Copies of this chain bind each other. A is one copy, B any other.
Amino acid sequence: MATIKVQTEDFDVSREIAALTAGRSDIGGIGCFVGVVRERAGADQAPEPVAAMTLEHYPGMTERAIARIAEQAEQRFDILGCTVIHRVGTLRTGDNIVLVLAVSAHRQPALDATAFLIDWLKTKAPFWKREEFADGSGAWVDAREADDAAAERWSRDG
């Protein structure tokens, strides 16, 4: 039921929504999140604007981990389907990084599943971001404790 893609190419939100909802008349709400490369990515105090970001992943395990996260979302929330697309490779400021879609008869499960999916992707899928600054230097992004706390929230709720 879940569509999962790990790809270097960009995605089109409208096209992915159309693919997820095609031929269905039982969907009342579509929740969506798009993560984007911003100029101050890892830390707002970064010394330099981020010029580019490189996303590394663990081929094989990545798809497996995302599939498990999507399964969890489908078990926890009354959704009719979901889509997760995560880009890898080198991205520039303003580029899309990740797309999460979740569809449901009603808005609340769609919104909840969307938040759950992105929270869990941030902490349970094997991706690593390296920022490249305008001055030519670079640094691996540190994991944020706030992300662990956000994902942990779903454990408490569940």
Contacts and interface: CB of A to CB of B under 8 A. Distances in A.
A28 B36 contact: yes
A54 interface: no
A26 interface: yes
A118 interface: yes
Chain A interface size range? 35 or more
A108 interface: yes
Contacts of A27: 36, 38, 94
A145 interface: no
A107 interface: yes
Contacts of A31: 32-33, 114
Contact of A21 (B21, B94, B107): B94
Interface in A31-82: 31-41, 44, 49
Interface of A: 12-15, 17, 21, 24-41, 44, 49, 93-94, 105, 107-108, 110-111, 114-115, 118, 150
